[in-house]
Amino acid sequence: MAMLADQVDAVIGVDTHKHTHTAAVVTPTGGLVADVTIPTDAFGAKRVLAFAREHAPGRRVWAIEGSGSYGSGLTTYLLEQGEWVVEIDRPARPARRNGAKSDELDAVRAAREALSREHLAQPRRRGDREAIRVLVCTREGAILSRTRAITHLHALVVNAPEGIRNQLRKLSTDDLLERCARLRTGPSQSIEHRSTIAALRSTARRALACEAEAGDLESALELIVTRVAPELLAEPGVGVVSAARLLNAWSH
């Protein structure tokens, strides 16, 4: 495969952050032409494209760090404008002298990194792929929160007053969730008893809410996966969530 330096007249490296991006135009031999820092909004995206057209008017490629995170908005805009964009992994950067930081140097490094590679990664697709990704990630968060709530619920039962513990300690997890979600307090109970019941009820309801949330998200995933790749769901042992993860991994 031909090296990038033989295919373009300039590489624009972009160091991305939450509030600003820094772009640097680099020649095929690695020399810096110009750099600019722009805000991470629509105006900034238009400004950096105008900057590229001025300083790299010929064949150019954008080497963007974090094209799937902080750089996703800029990457989408550039692709919509017909620009060639490649993805550069964000490296673990050592601390610079006196703790100094240079976004310009990091942008130049991204461009030179692209020039040194034989194989360049294309940014992941958005659209269906991004819809699947956000649903999968959010569902995983709901599952994790449910697991944490259940762990906490069992710990509460272990340390509960004897009367409460005897009622709950032999229940299965599902039964424990349902029972604790319906617990009520009475005026004759001690402050410890009432507080423990309130904690058990709140924790159980949190776990059940997370379970319902995960179910809703999985239903939304199923609609997309069924439309995008019904043949994948037809494979033995492939469910909605595993199919969604496969589609994400093979998003190109």
CATH code, domain with 109: 3.30.420.140
**Do 17 and 50 sit in the same domain of this protein?**
yes
In a domain, 122, yes or no: no
β-strands 60-65, 85-88: how paired? parallel
The last residue of one of the domains, among 63, 89, 116, is 116
**Do 55 and 168 sit in the same domain of this protein?**
no
In a domain, 26, yes or no: yes
The last residue of one of the domains, among 62, 90, 116, is 116
The b-or-e profile of 90-122 (16+ CB within 10 A means b, else e) is beeeeeeeeeeeebbbbbbbbbbbbbeeeebee
**Do 99 and 133 sit in the same domain of this protein?**
no
Rounded to the nearest integer, the mean pLDDT of the chain is: 88
**Do 54 and 154 sit in the same domain of this protein?**
no
Cα→Cα distances 143→176, 204, 209, 241, Å = 18, 14, 10, 12
Question: What is the model's pLDDT at position 151?
Answer: 97
- Give the chain's domain count: 2
The last residue of one of the domains, among 92, 116, 140, is 116
Question: What is the model's pLDDT at position 118?
Answer: 72
Say how far apart CA 66 and CA 87 lie, in whole Å.
7
According to DSSP, residue 4 is labeled G
Helix (H) or strand (E) segment spanning residue 21: strand 20-26
**Do 91 and 165 sit in the same domain of this protein?**
no
User: Does the pLDDT at position 1 exceed 50?
Assistant: no
In a domain, 191, yes or no: yes
- Tokens read off for 32: 């810096």
> 77: domain range?
4-116
**Do 111 and 133 sit in the same domain of this protein?**
no
Contacts 24+ apart (CB under 8 A), 246-251: 247/128, 247/129, 247/132, 248/129, 248/132, 248/133, 248/136, 251/124, 251/125, 251/129
CB 187 within 8 A of CB 194: no
In a domain, 194, yes or no: yes
CB 85 within 8 A of CB 73: no
* Cα-Cα-Cα-Cα dihedral sign, residues 140, 142, 145, 150: negative
Report, as an integer, the average pLDDT of 29-47.
Answer: 92
pLDDT tens digits, 58-97:
899 999 988 778 888 898 899 889 999 988 876 555 545 5
pLDDT tens digits, 125-153:
677 888 998 999 999 999 999 999 999 99
Mapped onto helix, strand or coil, the DSSP state of residue 187 is coil
Integer-rounded Cα Rg, in Å, for the chain is: 26
Question: What is the model's pLDDT at position 98?
Answer: 47
In a domain, 157, yes or no: yes
pLDDT tens digits, 70-80:
888 898 899 88
**Do 8 and 31 sit in the same domain of this protein?**
yes
Confidence of residue 213 (pLDDT cuts 50, 70, 90): very high
- Tokens read off for 41: 């909004």
Report, as an integer, the average pLDDT of 157-176.
Answer: 92
